[in-house]
Chain A
Amino acid sequence: GDSVTQMEGPVTLSEEAFLTINCTYTATGYPSLFWYVQYPGEGLQLLLKATKADDKGSNKGFEATYRKETTSFHLEKGSVQVSDSAVYFCALPTGGGNKLTFGTGTQLKVEL
């Protein structure tokens, strides 16, 4: 079945460092791909999405490119801030009815 695999965390970076969180997927066809972010004690917020191959989603300095040749949707940010500390989830729609399958989440901690 459809699935998402994320790199394991936690990831600890210094402020202004470059961030990459890997996400690969297995799916029938070419579904949309999503990154959600969860700040401590809160629900999830949609960070960005891409709806077809080669699309680049971007928001708040974060980017991810939908690459069908490598079945990947890696999340990147050129310069992280302390306020980016959160858990990041990669997800794709599965099973019809718009259900989402989430990766296990990657915790990011940014230190001064």
Chain B
Amino acid sequence: GAVVSQHPSWVICKSGTSVKIECRSLDFQATTMFWYRQFPKQSLMLMATSNEGSKATYEQGVEKDKFLINHASLTLSTLTVTSAHPEDSSFYICSAIEGRGRETQYFGPGTRLLVL
């Protein structure tokens, strides 16, 4: 149980285009999802917290107009990287918490984005 999927797993795009990444909880309802960014050989950097039906809460220094997050249902959150540039190339990972009052995060397999 507690499986989280991400799609796509790999994406290559041209500079200036927008890319949407989906995060789904497959066998549970996720009231809260998180989006992280990871640079090579580094730890995870939390970008934003996404709660179903409300606006995402962004961490300091993360551009909300650049990284659009939508948590439209209890099983789906999307991250859209708008007008992507090479510096946005990274490994993006989502996680989800099952139900309210829980603290264990279940992570997706990650999406590797390469912007040319």
Contact = CB atoms under 8 A, between A and B. Distances in A.
B43 A103 contact: yes
B67 interface: no
A98 B46 CA distance: 12
Interface string A23-41: 0000000001010100001
A43 B111 CA distance: 9
**Secondary structure type dominating chain B contacts:** strand
Interface stretch (B11-19, B71-79, B80-88, B97-105): B97-105
A26 B8 CA distance: 37
Interface residues of B, number: 24
The contact size tier of chain A is: 20 to 34
Interface of B: 4, 6, 32, 34, 41-44, 46, 49, 57, 93, 95, 97, 102-110, 112
Given A36-B107, A44-B95, A98-B32, 15 more contacts: A43-B6, A43-B93, A43-B108, A43-B110, A46-B105, A49-B104, A89-B43, A97-B49, A98-B105, A99-B46, A100-B34, A102-B43, A102-B44, A103-B43, A105-B43
